[in-house]
Every structure is written in C-alpha cells, then in structure tokens.
Structure 1
C-alpha cells in the first residue's frame, strides 16, 4: 500500500501546458492564468534550465518550434531567455514567476533533462513549494534522484515503474506489481493506449486505487473519451482543451454523490 494521502475527492482535469487558447502560446503565464480563471486547479508543465540554472516552463529543449530560433534553452542565460518572443505570442515564463503569480494553483512538473535536476531541487527548497507540486519524468533515474533529494514531495511513476505496475494484472501478482512503488509516488500518469494496446482499463484503475494511487490519463481532448475515462473511475485527465474538459467534468458525479 502506498503511503501518500489521497489528494482528490473526485475526478479532475489537468491543464496540459496551460491549455490551448486563441492568441496565446502554450506554457505561458497568460495560458496558465486563463486556465486558472476558468476554474482549473492543477496545471501541467515541462521545465528546462537555462545556462545559469534558472528553470523555464517549456516542453521542447530548444526554441526552434516555439520561437523560430536556433538555440537550446540550456545555451542561453535567463536574462536573454526572458526577452525571447514566441511565435504564437508571449514569452517563456520562469517557473518562479508561475508559482508566485498563481498562488492557488498546484503544478505537475515534468523534469525533461538531466541538467534540470539540480535546478529543480534548488527551486523546491528556495521557494518552499513542495506541497504545491508533483514531479514527473519518463526517466526512472531522474525520479530516483529527485525523490532522494526531496523526500515527501509527490511524484508520478516513470516508464519502468508504470510497466512493472501493469504486471499486477497478471494472476497471483500483487495489485502493485512485482515491486512496491516508492512511498512518495501518489499517481500513475499514463496514456490511454500504448502501441494500440489499452493501458487504462477498469482493472488498472481499481488496482491503482487499491494501491493508494491516483490514475491520471494523458493527453485527452475528446469529450466522449473523457466521459468514458471518468466512468472507469480515473481521477484526472490531462487535456489541451480546458473548456471541453470543464464541461465534461460538470456532468461527472463527484465521489460520494
């Protein structure tokens, strides 16, 4: 049994990169503020560290797609990144700006690269945000380092941990799979399908809950898919379409209703 407390009382949505809004770039203060104003409590973002160790909210390691510039984020100092104009409007926000400007929001933060681990650890200590975040990564080694340095901070499962948990569906296997998950894991964050094979089933969700874990599914933008997942009992869907997500959520019974 996982030792983390249950952190939701019913289904929820998580705004993927703040959501996609007309006239706004992903992963900008404006997008996250729009989602918060709409009623979203949990936001998802990825982070990369600048050359001088400042964390910026960005999915890509480089600026080509979002700003049309031939640089990686880690090549440039924070002061220069502050002035980068994004193609779809706005600027890259520092993570510290997001947590300060949106104090009621909780953050699901994907640490994308090894060089961002140290800055992430320092950030949590310097800004006392351990109770407002969940750390994520596909890489198990990254998660091990974060958990060791930041005990008590919530994390989701990495790819290997999720695969081991999936084995819990086999006969005579414990619900959590062959290896218990670390105590600071509070959520399984998974795609609905992987290589065409369903990941999120009623059994998967039931075993997650029996193991004290939340079941989060990414990235879902179709209303029927959201409704079907909530009917299975998933605790949250990660979505780009905040408006549709909130509409589906409003029609979904909360736990205990």
Structure 2
C-alpha cells in the first residue's frame, strides 16, 4: 500500500529544497531553511518541503542544513553548542528560525521531507514526527540515523511509520544489484524503502539511469533527483521517468512541470 505521504499529489512531485528563497528574497537577507523560506514554498504551491534537522544545545530540533553557523550567519559555532533562544536571535533578520515542532504545527498542509543530519537529532526527530507520520518522509545519508528516527517514531506511538528514503549504503548496494541484474538483490536492497532520493550523477558515476528507474518502479519505489534548478534538466529527467524533482526553485519547477 502506498504511504499517505505520496497519496493525493500528482507526479512529478516538486520538493522545495530547504524551502524557497527567490533572488529578491535572498537580496533581502532571507536564508534557506528559515520560517520565511518554508512559508514562501507553501505560498508558491509546493506540496513538499525538503529540509534538514539538527539539535540545539538545549535539545530542540531545528531546520538547518549545516552543522555550524558559518555560512548562514558568519558565526563559527556549531548548532549543537547554541541554545534555541540565541539561535532565534541570530536568525531574526534572516527569515526567522523555524523548529521542527513549529514547521509541523504551522504548516499543516505541507508534507515534509526531513534529512536527519546529526546523530543526536535522530531520536528527537522520530519522536516529534510521530503524530504527523502520514505527512513526513525521514531520510539521512546514514541508514543507521534514518532507522533510529523511524524506530523512535514507532516508540512514540506513531499510527504508521513515516515514509523513508534510502541512505548511502543502501543506494550503493542497490546500484551493485542493478549492475548485476539481480532482482533478488534489488528486492533485498529496497525492502522497507519508499523512495530513492539521489543526484543524477556522483562524479563520473551515473546514478539515475533507465535500469535504475525500472528496478525501483518494479518494486514500487519512487526516484527523486536532487538538486535540479534548470528547467531543461527538469523536463529531461521527467521524460526519463523520474517521479520527483528536488529544487531550490520550486516556483519555477511548478510552472515548468505542471
């Protein structure tokens, strides 16, 4: 049975990467993964927001990509070293900090794609999303972090598990299975996986191929490609058969693909 995270939304899916920050918004100081960025994605009509989860020093899950503040605020400290109140002050003129709890409560129509960036955040993320598991997909480059978050959601009483996409190790096993043309190994790699969220290429290695797409679709798994901002690339990938586009310009993608 298809997870509710996928139901009722047409493909190709548009996932707003870290929300939506247009050039005008960026010129005004709005940062990715801010409250304003999530609000802009929702306002543009994006059904999905892709974001990242870190844990503050006082145990609050916040939507933030980097492990430190250097790139976004110029402060070299790590998110894990800062309390949420101070982080709110630092983000006040950058679109506003948004916690995971605020995101889930403030945007009840948005479906979130959450990348667990920090090991310490895995259990808090799973616990926080448990009541919202029908509209959350949990992912991580680390399959261990991803599974820990899913287990935490179950422990916290989630009626269903959140949707999930494969981590790096699972994707590596899948690519090897596809190359070997072993449907048994493909099925094993994709067990418990709802989506593959991958770049089109990693260096010289082509990840998204007709064979990968066919293997995933044969086992009921979608393929979403990140991070695609060029309209021609969006069209080409959709014509190839991908199910979703993760993009910094959800506004453009919605116009191009719908």
Separation in 1, partners of 2:238, 2:186 = 24
Deviations 1:169-226 (A, max 9, x none): 234401762734342x210010000112221112211111111101000000111111
| 1:146 corresponds to | 149
Structure 1 runs (4+) deviating above 6 angstroms are none
> What SS is found at the alignment partner of 1:131?
helix
Aligned partner (choices 206, 224, 238) of residue 230 of structure 1 = 238
| Structure 2 counterpart SS, 1:13 | strand
Worse overlay, 173-182 or 186-195? 173-182
Correspondent of 2:135 among 122, 132, 136? 132
Q: 1:194 to 1:86 in 2, by over 3 A?
A: farther
Provide the alpha-carbon RMSD of the alignment: 1.9
- The answer to whether structure 1 residue 173 and structure 2 residue 182 are counterparts is yes
Structure 1 position 55, deviation (Å): 0.7
3-state SS in 2 of match to 1:166? helix
The correspondence of residues 29-68 of structure 1 with structure 2, limited to 5 A, is: 29-68=35-74
Distance 2:243 2:185 in 1: 17
Which structure's relative contact order is higher, taking Cα pairs within 8 Å and 6+ residues apart?
Answer: 1
Partner of 2:13: 12
The 5 A counterparts of 1:1-257 are 4-5=2-3, 7=6, 8-21=9-22, 22-23=24-25, 24-85=30-91, 89-125=94-130, 128-151=131-154, 152-174=161-183, 177=186, 179-183=188-192, 185-250=193-258
| Aligned length, in residue pairs | 244
Give the CA deviation at 1:11: 0.8
In the alignment, is the contact (CA less than 8 A) between 1:176 and 1:211 conserved in 2? no
| Cα distance, 1:86 vs structure 2 | 6.4
The answer as to whether partners of 1:217 and 1:237 remain within 8 angstroms in 2 is: yes
Task: Report the Cα distance in structure 1 between the residues aligned to 2:39 and 2:143, rounded to whole angstroms.
Answer: 31
> Which has the larger share of helix?
2
Secondary structure class of the residue paired with 1:229? helix
- The secondary structure found in structure 2 opposite 1:82 is helix
Structure 2 CA distance for partners of 1:198 and 1:180, relative to 1, 3 Å: closer
Deviation, 1:118, is 2.2
CA contact (8 A) 1:5 1:212 kept: no
Deviations 1:11-35 (A, max 9, x none): 1110000022222211111111111
TM-score (norm 2): 0.88
Q: Distance in 2 between matches of 1:227 and 1:202?
A: 15
Deviates more, 1:151-160 or 1:37-46: 151-160
What per-residue deviation string (whole Å, max 9, x for no partner) do you get for residues 233-255 of structure 1?
A: 111010001222112212xxxxx
Cα deviation, 1:86-144, whole Å, max 9, x if unaligned, reads 67x2222111111211110000000001111122122124xx11111101100121122
